[in-house]
Structure 1
Amino acid sequence: MGNLYLIRHGQASFGAENYDVLSPIGVRQSQALGAHLAQLDLRLDRCVAGDLRRQQDTAQHALQAMHAAGVAVPAIETDAAFNEFDADGVIRALLPGLLAEEPNAREILRNGAHNRSEFQRLFAVMVQRWHAGDHADDGLETWQAFTARVQTGLQRLLDAASSGGNIAVFTSGGTIAALLHLVTQITPAQAFALNWQIINTSFSQLKFRGRDVALASFNCQAHVQLLKAPELITFR
């Protein structure tokens, strides 16, 4: 059987002007991941990343750490099918309908870096309404379109995979949630309940034979736990 490793990107710059940049902690997480995979002597046949900067940079730092440890690494391939859903678009589309019951929502979301728990609470409500289809048809990528995009990317990987191959996919939490939904048939709500637990640079393992895929492990974070550096365990 082959192995597909779903790796969430390192910590991005939440609250900064450009979120899509790894923070210094995100760089350290990515390097720690690569060093750990090298210690496991994991030999990757392919490495695929979405085209978001945080996904590409996480892959680059991790593979550089593997290479520095003497492990041969493949080139990074890009497939936008593994991009995250449009979180900003979800907020723009769902916020107006939330204001009647959450009059402070706009201010909380604007200053999310200083009020993370309230930001997460409101964001989770909007994501739930998004995947339930409770929003206007305003050009926002729907949950159904998002999962179809992700499924197309997964099928491309499986169709080109060799038996027993190891493939790393550097992606995002929402994309991993969509893959869990597709592979295990859990509901979108259950998939996002798991999504909120995925730490930066954790990896989940799928086993595959042909197009048959099964979940083997979820949200592995040994690479940061073994360092005994709690600051490297982040969720956003």
Structure 2
Amino acid sequence: MGEIVLIRHGQANSAARDEESYDRLSALGHRQAAWLGAHLRDAGERYDRVLMGSLRRHRETAGGLGDLGPAPETDPRLNEMDYFNLGKSLRAYRGVPMPEREEEFAAYLSHLLDAWHNAEIMGQETFSDFELRVTDILHEAAEPGRRVLCVTSGGVIGMIVRTLLGLDTEGLARIMLPILNSSVHRLLVTDHGTILAGFNAVPHLERPDRAHARTHY
């Protein structure tokens, strides 16, 4: 039996309104990554292969995790969906602005994913292309008898869960919403396929003095 461990990057620049500004870890994001790396090493976790997206926040998170196996390999298939350009397209097509308050984000994300799935809006890729590259890296990482660590983003994790559970776009939105920064998601690679075994765990943040570090954005 193999295992794929998905890790969402640490907190990035959540005040940003474009991808370039967003794509760097905050001071807290760096601490989240370091805490998680220490926790995984203390638990004896080692991996046969380590993959990361090519975005700066992926590289910084992987660097903060420290030595958990071989040097990380960069794979752009683990990069996040083109959220900011999709948001601009959604505003132009449906007149829906990006949310200003956190409580507005659930409805907004549902609108965005629905319009993207229906090909009403597009960023740098179609919904189908995003789904294809994510499922492609999922199948490649599913190596029987090997443990693979992937440092990625919430949209990629959501799409992987959608694929495994057969969710529609509303289900995808609901899966993406609670995903925490630096969270751990575990997939088991069995003779009968890859199955979801753990979702959105933050064991490195369960101490009371780290409650403030359980962030979504």
How high is the TM-score relative to the length of structure 2?
0.90
Q: Which residue of 1 aligns with 2:134?
A: 150
Give me the whole-angstrom Cα distance separating, in 2, the residues matched to 1:217 and 1:201.
14
Q: Which residue of 2 aligns with 1:206?
A: 187
Deviation at 1:47, TM superposition (A): 0.7
Question: Residue 209 of structure 2: which of 228, 231, 236 is its match?
Answer: 228
Are residues 1:124 and 2:120 paired?
no
Deviation at 1:33, TM superposition (A): 0.6
* Structure 1 portions without partners, runs of 5+: none
Counterpart mapping for 1:4-43 below 5 A: 4-16=4-16, 18-43=21-46
Q: Secondary structure at the match of 1:168?
A: strand
Give me the whole-angstrom Cα distance separating, in 2, the residues matched to 1:212 and 1:77.
24
Q: Do 1:91 and 1:126's aligned partners in 2 also have CA atoms closer than 8 Å? A: no
Q: Which moved more, 1:27-36 or 1:121-130?
A: 121-130
Give aligned pairs, total. Answer: 214
Q: Do 1:130 and 1:142's aligned partners in 2 also have CA atoms closer than 8 Å? A: no
Q: Secondary structure at the match of 1:94?
A: helix
Aligned CA distance change for structure 1 residues 217 and 189 (closer, same or farther; 3 Å): same
Q: Which moved more, 1:188-197 or 1:124-133?
A: 124-133
Letter paired with 1:91: G
Give me the whole-angstrom Cα distance separating, in 2, the residues matched to 1:125 and 1:213.
27
Letter paired with 1:123: Y
Percent identical among aligned pairs is 30
Deviation at 1:132, TM superposition (A): 3.3
How high is the TM-score relative to the length of structure 1?
0.83
Counterpart mapping for 1:80-229 below 5 A: 80-99=76-95, 105=97, 109=99, 112=100, 115-118=101-104, 120-121=105-106, 123-133=108-118, 135-136=120-121, 140-158=124-142, 161=143, 163-209=144-190, 212-226=193-207, 228-229=209-210
Q: Secondary structure at the match of 1:229?
A: helix
Runs of 4 or more, structure 1, over 6 Å off, are none
Question: Residue 78 of structure 1: which of 51, 58, 74 is its match?
Answer: 74
Q: Do 1:85 and 1:175's aligned partners in 2 also have CA atoms closer than 8 Å? A: yes
* Structure 2 portions without partners, runs of 5+: none
Q: Secondary structure at the match of 1:18?
A: helix
The RMSD of aligned alpha carbons is 2.1
